[in-house]
Amino acid sequence: MRTYDFSPLYRSAVGFDRLASLLESAARTSQENGWPPYNIETTGENAYRIEIAVAGFKPDELNIEVKENLLTVTGRKSANDDGGERTFLHRGLAERDFERRFQLADYVVVKGADLVNGLLSIELARELPEALKPRRIEIGTGSAQPLIEGKKARAA
């Protein structure tokens, strides 16, 4: 695997440290194993869904946390209480702990999560504050006459 050094960005660009951190994080994440598999899809203009295959995990073995635009999904498998009575000829179902991280854009919030048929679905939405939304500015008609030294100008 090839690694990238983003330190020149820190030395020569002011205010782009978050972008450099995102690039470093993406480089690290791409080197991680691919388990559990996941999908990211858009479900509307400002709506997204992350689906993670977590077959065999119960809701109380999963944790979803958002902190500073970082969504972290962890799975901690509780010990099987079968008492050692089961004998496997082949054991291919993964029952290992995991942690998946997703960097969220500004103003993307988690709306909810569901676990159905082994898929953990996390609903996300971009919610722009009113101050950042486009707004229409009314244009006046200019009916007021300009003042010249405190007096109304004469109509020509």
User: Coil, strand or helix: which one is 79?
Assistant: coil
Instruction: Please check whether residue 51 is in contact with residue 41, taking contact to mean a CB–CB distance below 8 angstroms.
Output: yes
- pLDDT value at residue 62: 96
- pTM (2 decimals)? 0.66
Query: What digits encode the pLDDT tens for the residues 53-63?
Result: 998 899 999 99
pLDDT: is 77 or 8 the higher one?
A: 77
- pLDDT value at residue 108: 92
- pLDDT value at residue 140: 86
- pLDDT value at residue 16: 59
- CA–chain centroid gap for 35, Å, is 19
- pLDDT value at residue 135: 84
Phi, psi of 151, rounded to the nearest 5 degrees: -120, 150
Domain 35-79+89-131 bears CATH identifier 2.60.40.790: yes
**Domain positions in the chain:** 1-31, 35-79+89-131
Per the DSSP assignment, residues forming a β-bridge with 73 are 64, 100
- pLDDT value at residue 130: 80
- pLDDT value at residue 123: 97
Q: Which of 10, 6, 25, 132 is nearest to 71 (CA)?
A: 25
Instruction: Please check whether residue 61 is in contact with residue 74, taking contact to mean a CB–CB distance below 8 angstroms.
Output: no
- pLDDT value at residue 95: 75
Query: What digits encode the pLDDT tens for the residues 71-129?
Result: 999 999 876 555 567 788 887 776 789 999 998 988 899 999 999 999 999 999 999 88
- CA–chain centroid gap for 152, Å, is 59
